[in-house]
């Protein structure tokens, strides 16, 4: 799981995964939008590959990459576990704001 989150921590790699979600891409195609060298793109691809987020296939002289979505689902399940803490905290904040609005409204009503 650590390798997945480490791979997802980089914006360039997240963009590469979004590109791969649209279909297979060569390393050259993955590098293009970022204006990076093939060596730099290959390093990002290796991190994604090590995390199991993509599969690389060699076709003649091109390395074609495919998204492997299962590790993303694992990461989502891990994050979803903590969602209840945010939901509870946001629910309490919502109630506090509603109570404050109600108190403000009743205070204004008393002075007029």
pTM, entire model: 0.71
pLDDT at 110: 57
pLDDT at 104: 79
pLDDT at 109: 67
CA 105 to chain centroid: 41
- Would you say 19 and 29 are in contact if contact means Cβ atoms under 8 Å apart? yes
DSSP calls for the chain: -HHHHHHHTSHHHHHHHHHHHTS-EEHHHHHGGGT--HHHHHHHHHHHHHTTSEEEEEETTEEEEEE--HHHHHHHHHHHHHHHHHHHHHHHHHHHHHHHHHHHHHHHHHH-
What is the edge-to-edge ordering of all strands in the sheet holding 62-67? 25-26, 62-67, 54-59
Tell me the pLDDT tens digit for each residue of 14-63: 999 999 999 999 999 999 999 999 999 999 999 999 999 999 999 988 89
Tell me the pLDDT tens digit for each residue of 57-100: 999 888 999 999 999 888 888 888 887 777 887 878 888 888 88
> What are residue 66's phi and psi, to 5 degrees?
-130, 140
């Amino acid at each position: 799981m650590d390798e997945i989150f480490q791979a997802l921590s980089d914006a360039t790699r997240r963009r590469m995964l979004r590109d791969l979600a649209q279909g297979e891409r060569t390393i050259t195609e993955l590098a293009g939008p970022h204006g990076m060298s093939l060596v730099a793109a290959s390093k990002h691809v290796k991190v994604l590959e090590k995390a199991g987020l993509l599969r690389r296939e060699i076709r003649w002289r091109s390395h074609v990459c495919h998204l492997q979505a299962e590790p993303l689902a694992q990461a989502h399940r891990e994050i979803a576990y903590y969602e209840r803490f945010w939901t509870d905290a946001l629910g309490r904040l919502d109630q506090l704001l509603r109570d404050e609005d109600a108190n403000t409204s009743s205070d204004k009503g008393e002075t007029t």
